[in-house]
Amino acid sequence: MPSPVQGFRFSAVSAGIRKDGRVDLALAVADRPVIAAGRVTRNLVKAAPIVLASERLKQGLVRGVLVNSGCANACTGEPGLEAARRATSAVSRVLGADDTEIIPASTGVIGALLPAEKIEARVSELVLKLSPTSIDDFALAICTTDRWPKVAYATIETPKGKASLLGIAKGAGMIHPNLGPPQATMLCFLFTDAIIERPELEGTLMEGVDHTFNTCSVDGDTSTNDLVLALASGASGVVAHAEELLPAIENVCGTLARSMVRDGEGAEHAVDIVVRGLPTNDDARRIAQTIATSMLVKTALFGKDANWGRLLAAAGRAGVVFDPNASGVSIAGVEIARGGLAVGSEAEAEAQRRMADETYTIELVLGDGPGRALCVTSDLGHRYIDVNAGYRS
C-alpha cells in the first residue's frame, strides 16, 4: 500500500515504559531535514520534552519526532531534560542526524522521570522498522487512555496540482488545549508533502489550531505536554500557499479535535456549543467556552437533561454583557427557551429525546450582534471519575 504522504516513514515498538507492555515508543522520520512549525502548551508548567521541542523548533529544520507514552517526563527538572536529550540523541546517532533535528514528545503520568535507558535499548529496532506505511503503528503507540487511535487525511488543492496532508493525534483526557507560539495530553503531528515556506507554515498552523484544537474541551484541564507539530517534506513537488494549506489543516485538525472530544474519558456525547448574537466573536467564544467547561452543564449532557437554565447561568458568569430577557436556547434543533423563558414541557421532552444522539448542537442566541463562536465539548459521567481516580495505579 503506498503512503498517503511522501517523504516520511513511521515505526513503533514496545520499550517497556508502560506497565501493560503495549507499544509505547513511536518514531516519525523525514527522508531529509524538512521545515517545521509547532505550537506548544501555554501551561506555565511545561514538561521537559516541551522545553526541548520549543528550543529546537527555533532553527526551523527537523529530521524526526520521537514520541513515548506511559511517562509525561513533566516536573522532572534537569534530570528530565537530560533524559529527553539522551533519548533523542540515541535516534540522531543511528540516523546520522544532528541532535537538534529530533523533536521529543511525551504523554503519560506527570512526575515520573523518562527511562532513557529503555529507549536507548530499542532505538536500533525502531529505526530498522521505519516504513512509509506504518502510520497505524505510530498512532497506536502514542495512545494513553484513548479508546481508539486518531488519524486523518486531506488533499491540498493547488492550481499546479495536489499534495497530501496526514494528521496523527492522541487525546482523551486532560483536554482543554491552549496552544500558542513556541514557548493524558493532546499531541498532534501533521505531515505534508507540499512545498511551503516556513513563515506560511507557521502562520497557517497557528490559525488552524486556533480554529480547531483551541475550541474543544473535555475537562477544562490544559496539559503540561500539549504539542502540535507540522512537518513539510516538499516531496510531492507541489507548491502550496497559506490559502491552499489552511482548509486542509482545518479539515484534519478539526476531525482530530472532534475525535478527541468523542473519546473523552467515559464520554457518550460530543456536543457543539454555538453562541451567536454578541457584539464580537471574542465575546461569543468566551461564553461558549464557559458553557463547554461547566461541570453542571456537562453532567446534564450525561444525564440527557434539557436543563437550559444551566446553559444560561453559565453564559451569565462568563464576564460578557448580554440581555437575559432577549436570549434563546435550542437543543438539537428544538427551541426550548425564548426571551429568557421556557417554551414549554413538550419542547423540553423532545429535546431530551434528541440528546440521546452521540452528537448534536446546542445553540444560544444572546442578541442581534454579528459575533459567533463554536466550542466542542463532551458530557461528564461516572467513567471519567473511574479512569482518573485510578490513573496512576
Which has the closest alpha carbon to 343: 327, 360, 321, 356? 327
DSSP conformation class of 96: T
| Cβ-count burial 178-214 (b if 16+ within 10 Å, e if not) | ebeebebbbbbbbbbbbbbeeebbbebbbebbbbbbb
Q: Which ranges of the chain would DSSP assign to H, the alpha helix?
A: 48-57, 77-95, 116-128, 135-141, 198-211, 242-262, 281-292, 295-302, 308-316, 345-354, 382-389
Q: What cell numbers appear for 258 in the block?
A: 472532534
* Radius of gyration of the chain measured on its C-alpha atoms: 22
Is residue 298 within 8 Å of 385, Cβ to Cβ? Answer: no
Residues contacting 5, CB < 8 A, separation 6+ = 164, 165, 166, 191, 192, 193, 233
Output the CA torsion sign for 289, 291, 296, 301: negative
Place of cell 442581534: 368
Q: Which residues fall within 8 angstroms of residue 262, CB to CB, at 6 or more apart?
A: 270, 358, 359, 378
Give the integer Cα–Cα distance in Å for 205 and 207.
5
Burial class of residue 279 (count of CB atoms within 10 Å of its CB; 0-12, 13-18, 19+): middle
**Interstrand relation of 102-107 and 61-69 (parallel, antiparallel or unpaired):** parallel
Buried b (16+ CB within 10 A) or exposed e, 125-154: ebbebbebebbebbbbbbbbbbeebbbbeb
Which positions are annotated as active-site residues? Answer: 185
- How far is it, in rounded angstroms, from Cα 75 to Cα 300? 35
DSSP line for 294-337: -HHHHHHHHTT---HHHHHHHHHTSS----GGG-EEEETTEEEE
